[in-house]
Structure formats: structure tokens, C-alpha cells
Amino acid sequence: MALVMKWGKRLTMFVSLLFLLELIFGYTGTVVKIHGMAIRTFLLALSALLLYLYSLLLVVTDHIPIFSRRRDAVLGSLRFHDWAFLAFSLSTAVSLFVIPRLSGGSALLAKNEAFGCLCMLLLYFPLGFLIRRGELSLRRLEDVLRVALFLFALQHIFLYVGQAAYGGFISEVFDLLRRIFGENAEFPQIILGHGGYPRVIFLTSVYLLAGIYLVLRRLPRFGVVDGLMLATQITALLATMTKSLWYGALFGLAVFSVCYFVRLYRRRQGREILRYAGILAGAFLLVVVLNATVFDHMVSVRLHNSFSTSETGDTSSDEELEEEDELAALDRAGAVISNNIKIEQTKKLLQKWTNRPLFGYGYGAYVKGYLRSYESPQSYEMQLPALLMKIGIVGVGLLCLVIAAMFCALHRSVKRGGDTVPVFAWLFLLLALGMTVQTNPLLLSYNGISIVVYLMMIATDLEQQALLHTDSEVRA
């Protein structure tokens, strides 16, 4: 039986790692298909099966009690954030299978929007169990993740530089990959900026935020490799030309920096304060230099045009308009259109939400007469109003409860002697993701939900490490 468990664990971790790597590098998840099934769907199903099966075998072979209140029992080991996450998962299932039928929605659209998300949510429970049992080391997983996200950032940079040098570069790269993987392979749409400037942005690009998180959590041991990692993630973020990602990273980094500086000040670590200030200055200088060289000032242009709408009016002088670069003018015009759409979209989503404020219309719902995409009519950029319309106050409230419960878990870990830096880094990732998804339909996807699961795993791991630290001190 020991041999079965040994190889069962290896197989489970290997398949789960393949699933993780496919999530990062697989673009749409349909680059490879197995008998017509997307490789992402296949790996998710196989990972879930193996994770739950291995957890069950562990319960049986180690004689782990299930319903006992003891901390080594299955249910007894669950904490407040686990129960909150379970409640949110159940509400997700209701909003997926029940509410659309009651509100006259489309079961097919609901399935297309949220079934994969629900399956991803359910992966957390065996993962959390294995973390608490010491069967899954999050540190080792993050070592692999660090290498993968470094290569992922390099991929963004490579595609951007190639596209900037030759307008059809990304298209030809995808054509080459399509010849390798077969004509049925599906790649993401190539998105160019207004006027045709390059953009390298995919649903998977949200993982660049996780790359910065991995650097921040190692900050006290920041070295040359970490500096290289941070530089590649920043450069790749700029290459996306996506303002929501930029503002998400900036907001998360600002909160992290305040927390970290306060920590260093309280500990009278003046040298570390100067060291981190130098890291921030270096990151800022890198952005300035890249903006002026590689990105041809489009970073500053897009930031300047962030909040342009038809209501703000054009206050530019005639001389400024004459001197304005053509690409900058086109980007500003595009920003005005995009921002006006988001304002109108928010009004329409909230107007529909007010008719069913508590439970919403369920996943797959959309505003009739106002579609952003005929292929995915249920998809909207303004995530919070869209979530309110789909899952109502109850669903959004349970999501907020999950976030609050994770805060409680991290607070307990610090009180038990845990390090605050990983907690601050977790806060960065949470806030960066939260702001990013507000104006992009990234949350309700395999990629967005996988980061939510990752945040839960981090909270569980930090609390578990603090518990083990407390137990060792008691025994000593």
C-alpha cells in the first residue's frame, strides 16, 4: 500500500503540475485537443479526480477521522476561511444551475461562463487538505512557478519586440504553432492598440501579477535573480499595454510598500528602508527608460489618456493638438470611446441588477439589447456591476466574506509568530487582482479563479506554518 501511495502522490502532483503549466502557457486552453476535448478541460478533470482520490486514500490509510472536531480530522482541520469558501462555492453552484432556470436565463450560457470556474474552485479543498497534512509543499510549488512565470514574461517580451519590428510577427508565430499542433488548435485574438501599436495581452497575462508577488514575498532575501525576475515581470506588464493591469499592480504595490516601510520603521531597520527604496527607484527608472525606448512613449500616452471621456471635453490647445503624435491622438480617441462604453455599461448592468438585487439573474445573464460580444453575450468588462447583476448581493457578499476570512487567517498566522512579509505580498496580489478585474472580464475565467484558489492556498499555508511553529514552541 505504501508503494501505491508513493506513486499515487507522484502521479497526482505531476498531472496537477501539467495543468498549472498549461494554465500559464496554454493561451486559450484549446491549443491541444484530445478526442475533441480541450486539453485544459481534460487536465482539470484529471487533476481533480487524482487530487480527490489521493486525499481519500490518505484518509483511509492514515485512519484520519472525518467528522471529529480534532485538529487532525478532516472537518476539524477546516478553518473559518474554508467554510466561507465552501459557502461561496455552493452559492456559485446555485447561481450556475438553479437561478438561471428560475430567471428564464440560458443554461448553456451559464455553463459556458461559470462551470469551469466552479470546477476550479472545488480544486482548493483537496489542495488545502494536502497542505495541512504536509503532503503538498507550497514553497516547492512556488519554486517551479517562479521559473515558469519568468519564462512566461520572456514570452511576452519576445512577442512584443517581434511585433514592433514586424507587424505580422505574432500572427506568424501563431500560424507556426498551429501547423505544429494541428489546424484545430485555437489561439487568442491578436489585439493591437488604436493606430496599430503592438499589444501582447491574453487572458493568461494576469499571471504576471503572481510573478511580482513571488518577488515581493522574498524581499528580505532579495538578490540578483530576484531583481532579474522583477525586471522581466515589469517589462512584460508594460508589453501588454493594458491599463487595468498597470493600475492593479501600482495599487497593490503602493499598499504593500506602505505596510513594508512601516514594518521596517518599527524595527528600526534603516538600511533595509534604503534598500527597498532603491529597489522601488530602480523599478521606476526601468519603466521610464523602457517607455522612452522600447515602448516609444506609449506607456505614458496610455496613462495620460486613462480617464478621457466625451464628458471631460478636449482642453488641449491648438498648438498641443498640432504637436500631438498621431498614435497618441488615436489612442486618446479610442480611450474616450472605451471609457464612454464602460460608463454606459455600468448604468445598464446596475439598472438590471435593481430588479433582482439579492440573488441576481444567475451566470450567463446579459442585458437584452446591449451585447459586448455576440460570441459571449454574457461577458462584460465592468466586473463588479456584472457580478451584482449575475449573483446579487448574496453572492458578492459571500465573496467578500471569503476575503475577510482570509484576512482573519493571515492575522492569526502573524499573531502566532508568522512573518509579515508574505502576508503583505499576499495583500499585493489580492488588491492587484481585485483592481485589474474591475474593468476587464478576467475574473470569471480559469485564470482569474485560479488566482483566487492560489490566494486561499497561501492563506492556508501561512496559517498552517504558524500553527506548526506554535506547536513546536509548546513542545520545547
User: For 314-330, how does the pLDDT look when each residue is reduced to its tens digit (9 = 90+)?
Assistant: 444 444 444 456 777 77
Alpha carbons 327 and 268: distance in angstroms, whole number: 49
Alpha carbons 37 and 245: distance in angstroms, whole number: 31
Mean model confidence pLDDT for the chain: 89
Closest CA to 442 of 390, 379, 397: 379
pLDDT tens for each residue of 340-357: 888 888 898 999 999 999
Higher pLDDT, 475 or 252: 252
Q: How many domains does the chain have?
A: 1
φ/ψ (deg, to 5) at 388: -60, -45
**Residues 105/33, Cβ–Cβ less than 8 Å:** no
pLDDT tens for each residue of 18-76: 999 999 999 989 998 888 889 999 999 999 999 999 999 999 998 898 888 888 888 88
Residue-number span of the structural domain to which 53 is assigned: 2-475
pLDDT tens for each residue of 229-247: 999 999 999 999 999 999 9
Higher pLDDT, 405 or 167: 405
Res. 472: pLDDT tops 70: no
Handedness of CA 221, 224, 226, 227 (dihedral sign): positive
pLDDT at 163: 93
* DSSP reduced 3-state for 360: coil
Res. 152: pLDDT tops 80: yes
Higher pLDDT, 101 or 72: 101
